Amino acid sequence: MNLDNLYQEVILDHYKHPQHKGLSEKFDAQVHHVNPSCGDEITLNVNLADSTISSLTWDGVGCSISQASVSIMSDLLIGKSLDEAQVIFDSFIELMQSKGALVADESILEDAVALAGVSKYPARIKCALLGWMAYKDASVQAQK
Amino acid sequence: MSLDVASIKEDFPIFKRSIRDGKKLVYLDSGATSQKPRSVIEAEGNFYRLHNAAVHRGAHQLAEEATDAYEGAREIVANFLGAHVDEIVFTKSATESLNLLAYAFSNAQPGNRFALQPGDEIVVTEMEHHANLIPWQQLAARSGATLSWFGLTTEGRLNLEPLKKLITAKTKIVALTHQSNVLGTINPLAEIVARAHEVGAVVILDACQSAPHMSIDVSALDVDFLVFSGHKAVGPTGVGVLWGKAELLDQLPPFLFGGSMIETVTMTSATWAKAPKRFEAGVPNMAQAVGLGTALQYLTRIGMDSIHEHEQVLTKYLIEQLISIDDVRIVGPLSCENRGASVSFTCGDIHPHDMGQFLDNQGIAVRTGHHCAWPLARAMGVPSTTRASLYLYNDISDVDALTNGIRDAQKYFGK
């Protein structure tokens, strides 16, 4: 397998220059998720305004896939309505579960299509999903 | 004394296959599980093919053969450890062996020497694998005992300075690893064992990372219980060993209850068989125990001292090569004195999971993460590491493949 399919330029860029890293002072919900098999950790804050994600910030430690994935996700979801975010979330999960068989929908996932290669590496899918699962948890809590 | 690695590799069928589109397998993950020689694979298969029957039951030839094979394996394990055959209990894993002890202690009634009271102390170390930490955390929670532990030096050795403060008259159990699965550190037992026995505590040794790699003599170590797993010692998965001093096993209550572990049974009560049967309820993992016997015969034929010496030479070379690479930091002792062949390291900003993935693409199998020793990773100040662990089938070419791979990874992720 060609490693470049996994480590796309976009991923390494986000890893080196993570977006929205550094937690906001205020938040509607804060979650802390860990990946027990490898020790990766993320704390994620979400703020909502009229069912729109007004801010999404995070801090954490992890591999390039987990860190780039949450960075890309933050870029993608900020400013979206919860409904729009759900469509993106579902599309990303479907992509991750596709074992490489699915062509990613760039109109929905934008930069997150760079993570398509992860779906061929079963051990790395949970890395890519760490931040997304944290967002899902936080968004549910923020709506309570 | 040096090993003929080429001919040893011939014994392990897995080295015939290729990895990631035709690359040679460089297996540096024996600390997680070892590969299996043909003789072990065949021994397990042949048990099912030729001798399969429930041991210790049945009035037929197959039951006799199965019992002979299973009890023969017990004898091999006993010889391997310098122990008596009745001191060897087969379990499904080292993890189960440690849980067996912790639950057996829980089952001890007041008056039994293993019964714990609130205020009693259990002592572990900060370098324990989760398997030799959590059972004691849980036993402490069930019994009201307190858990305390030896901390580590910056080099990753046990800090023995507070020995007498940590192991006190209240200490009932001292549980520690013989060799750290992360740091490679081999712990100094004599001082700890002497102090534990001075205060009447039992010493439980996790030998998962030592028994497969060096000669072990339980009477020389003078510990009270010792556990190891079969699959790390070129044996099958699904079989572990618990060894205990005969006079202690005699007083230890059972953990699992059922068939085979009894002496008499009525509708309301039961009495227990003698050790080791008291601790082997149900039809045991016969084929796996037989496979383990074959595995230990294989290792013994090559020679545990030769294996240890081979690993020492190779570990020294590995450490020298690793520290010659910019940004590589070894987490654990740099000296090979009292150190085994598990070598963990970090490499600048490259996350271990990315390092592992990159190496895998070159056919090199390493372990990454906290290696089931999360508190240890925290104590050493590293969220995770990459670990190369060596065994009898590794040679200098494997080490060179690793160090070349690390340099390639630095170029790749530095791009």
Residue B35 within any structural domain of the chain? no
Mean pLDDT of B278-283: 97
Block residue for tokens 């690359």: B23
Give the architecture-level CATH label for domain A3-142.
Answer: Alpha-Beta Complex (3.90)
Q: Which of A1, A12, A127 sits opposite B353 (nearest CB)?
A: A127
Q: Which residues of B touch A127 (CB under 8 A)?
A: 353
Torsion of Cα atoms, B152 then B155 then B158 then B161, to 10°? -80
pLDDT in tens, A17-36: 999 999 999 999 999 999 98
pLDDT in tens, B128-166: 999 999 999 999 999 999 999 999 999 999 999 999 999
| Among B55, B41, B36, B58, CA closest to B286 | B55
Rg (CA), chain A: 14
Q: Does one domain contain both B152 and B294?
A: yes
Q: Does one domain contain both B292 and B323?
A: no
What would the DSSP string read from start to end of B25-40? PEE-BTTT-----HHH
Q: Which of A1, A40, A65 sits opposite B20 (nearest CB)?
A: A1
Q: Which residues of B touch A7 (CB under 8 A)?
A: 354, 412-413
What percentage of chain B exceeds 70 in pLDDT? 100
Q: Buried b / exposed e across B163-190, counting CB within 10 Å, b at 16+?
A: beebbeebbbbbbbbbbbbbbbbbbebe
Q: Which of A3, A40, A62 sits opposite B358 (nearest CB)?
A: A3
Q: Does one domain contain both B187 and B218?
A: yes
Q: Does one domain contain both B208 and B345?
A: no
Mean pLDDT of B246-268: 96
Residue B87 within any structural domain of the chain? yes
Nearest C-alpha of chain A: how many angstroms from B373?
10
CATH number at residue B386: 3.90.1150.10
**Interface with chain A: mutation pick from B331, B346, B353, highest number of A CBs within 10 Å:** B353
Q: Distance between CA atoms of B125 and B149, rounded to whole angstroms?
A: 5
Residues A39, B354: C-beta atoms closer than 8 Å = no
E-assigned strand segments in A4-107: 29-35, 40-49, 52-61
What confidence score (pLDDT) does residue B415 get?
Answer: 61
Mean pLDDT of B201-215: 98
The whole-model pTM stands at: 0.95
What confidence score (pLDDT) does residue B237 get?
Answer: 98
Report residue B414's pLDDT band, with 50, 70 and 90 as the boundaries: confident
What confidence score (pLDDT) does residue A2 get?
Answer: 83
Q: Return the domain boundaries, chain A.
A: 3-142
Residue A5 has pLDDT above 90, yes or no: no
Q: What's CA B227's distance to the chain center, in Å?
A: 7
CB atoms within 10 A of CB A85: 23
pLDDT in tens, B85-104: 999 999 999 999 999 999 99
What confidence score (pLDDT) does residue B154 get?
Answer: 95
Domain range for B325 is: 5-30+303-413
Most confident of A31-45, A109-123, B205-219: B205-219
Average pLDDT in chain B: 97
| Among B135, B114, B113, B109, CA closest to B124 | B135
Which of A131-135, B58-62, B364-368 has the weakest average pLDDT?
B58-62
What confidence score (pLDDT) does residue A129 get?
Answer: 96
Number of helical (H) and strand (E) elements in chain B, helices listed first: 14, 17
**Interface with chain A: mutation pick from B19, B20, B344, B357, highest number of A CBs within 10 Å:** B357
| Chain B CB within 8 Å of residue A10 CB | no
Residue A16 has pLDDT above 80, yes or no: yes
What confidence score (pLDDT) does residue B60 get?
Answer: 95
pLDDT in tens, A66-96: 999 999 999 999 999 999 999 999 999 999 9
Residue B307 has pLDDT above 70, yes or no: yes
H or E element, residue B147: strand B146-150
Residue B1 has pLDDT above 60, yes or no: no
Q: Which residues of B touch A39 (CB under 8 A)?
A: 369-370, 374, 377, 383-384
E-assigned strand segments in chain A: 29-35, 40-49, 52-61
Residues A38, B384: C-beta atoms closer than 8 Å = yes
As given in the structure block, the two tokens for residue B238 are: 């699904």
What percentage of chain A exceeds 90 in pLDDT? 85
Minimal-distance CA residue of chain B relative to A121: B357
Please report, in angstroms and rounded to a whole number, the separation of the first and last CA atoms in chain B: 45
Residues A38, B358: C-beta atoms closer than 8 Å = no
Domain termination residue (choose one: B300, B319, B342) = B300
As given in the structure block, the two tokens for residue A16 are: 């080196």
Residues B358, A124: C-beta atoms closer than 8 Å = no
Q: Does one domain contain both B84 and B25?
A: no
Domain termination residue (choose one: B300, B315, B341) = B300
**Residues of B contacting chain A (CB within 8 angstroms):** 20-21, 351-354, 357-358, 361, 368-370, 374, 377, 383-384, 412-413, 415
Structure ipTM:
0.90
Q: Buried b / exposed e across A101-137, counting CB within 10 Å, b at 16+?
A: eeebbeebbebbbbbbbbbebeebbbbbbbbbbbbbb
Q: Distance between CA atoms of B165 and B168, rounded to whole angstroms?
A: 6
Q: Distance between CA atoms of B344 and B336, rounded to whole angstroms?
A: 14
What confidence score (pLDDT) does residue A103 get?
Answer: 87
What confidence score (pLDDT) does residue A1 get?
Answer: 65
Q: Which residues of A touch B21 (CB under 8 A)?
A: 1
Calculate helix-pair angle for A122-142, B352-361, nearest 10 degrees: 150
Between chain A and chain B, the number of residue pairs with CB atoms below 8 A apart is: 46
Calculate helix-pair angle for B286-302, B38-46, nearest 10 degrees: 150
Mean pLDDT of B75-83: 98
As given in the structure block, the two tokens for residue B240 are: 């572990």
Strands A52-61 and A40-49: antiparallel
pLDDT in tens, B322-341: 999 999 999 999 999 999 99
Q: Which residues of A touch B415 (CB under 8 A)?
A: 12
Is B208 one of the catalytic residues?
no
SS3 B346: strand
What percentage of chain B exceeds 90 in pLDDT? 98
Q: Does one domain contain both B210 and B341?
A: no
Q: Domain total for chain B?
A: 2
